Amino acid sequence: MSLLPDTYRFKQSEKSWKMWVYFLVFCLFGAPVSSFSQRIVSTDGTISEILAGLGLADQLVGVDVTSTYPESLKRLKQIGHNRTISAEGILSLNPDLILVNSESLLRPGLVQQLEKTGKKVVVFEQQYSVEGSKKLIRAVGTYFNRQKEAEVLVKRIDDDLLRIKKQRSPKKVVFIYARGAGTLMVSGKGTSVDAMLGLAGHTNAIQGFDDFKPLTSEALLAANPDYLLLFDTGLESVGGIDGLLKLPGVAFTKAGKSRQVVAMEGLYLTGFGPRVGAALLELSQKIN
């Protein structure tokens, strides 16, 4: 037999009932996004890298081929290159959330096609600048309620930038995108690599057009760069520096004559993500 008065027992049961209601409401509406275990598909390497930096890599179930950092992302299901990603490939992973970078070259209509299926699609805006990188990191951090972790990534960028020494004599650089000797493109204005060269204190020697165009020996000789810049995989695809020098016109440039060739990992060099400060530091050290 209870020694507690009936009114006390009623108040206690009422209090317990209210606590359960508050708990359920919090779970349904008030809990931060990051507190739920979600199945996330990322269609962009920079977004994937930010998620990993925020401690959310374990929620990724699929990534595009540019998601190469950290190394653990390479073990996830691949949905292809952003230019060829299909809705079917993404949906086969049964994601709760699909993340897109505004600068990703997705197939026209893909986002709308995914949205029509009822899946949650979030597009994050990116700009090719240091401030744009910080803004993107903070936007992703805010969405997933990981603001503190985002600020750690931002501070790391600032710390790396402080270590960069101002270039006394800017160099002319040509970036070559290579996928074997049969696929060679050069970067014009408005690209992420063009922005990186400017931030590092150097000049993109190709100024006559925007975006990318096929490499010609005439354009390369007219630019006559001090340095040639490639992705490490691109340089490997043409047979290293020796193979590069065999391509038409390359050996007759200042860069070719002095073998001034710099290679960096693709996402690291052009991703404008959490490692943008480190990439700028390395680029400024290699081209001086």
Helix (H), strand (E), coil (C) string for 88-111? HHHHCCCCCEEEEECCCCCCCCHH
pLDDT at position 51, please?
98
Distance CA 111, CA 227 (A): 39
Q: What angle do CA 123, 129, 131 make, to 5 degrees?
A: 80
Please state, in angstroms and as integers, the Cα–Cα distance from residue 88 to each residue in 21, 85, 99, 117, following that order. 39, 9, 15, 11
Q: In 10 A of CB 251, how many CB atoms?
A: 13
Low-confidence residues in the chain, pLDDT < 50: 1-32, 34-35
Q: Are 157 and 276 in contact (CB under 8 A)?
A: yes
Which pTM does this prediction carry?
0.86
Q: Which residue has the tokens 């197939």?
A: 107
H helix runs in the chain, sequence order? 6-25, 45-53, 87-91, 110-116, 130-143, 147-161, 192-199, 217-223, 232-237, 240-244, 254-258, 266-270, 276-286
pLDDT at position 243, please?
97
pLDDT at position 7, please?
42
Q: What is the DSSP letter of 248?
A: T
Distance CA 50, CA 59 (A): 13
pLDDT at position 9, please?
44
Distance CA 153, CA 52 (A): 11
Distance CA 93, CA 49 (A): 20
pLDDT at position 118, please?
95
Amino acid occupying residue 47:
I
pLDDT in tens, 197-231: 999 999 999 998 999 999 999 999 999 999 999 99
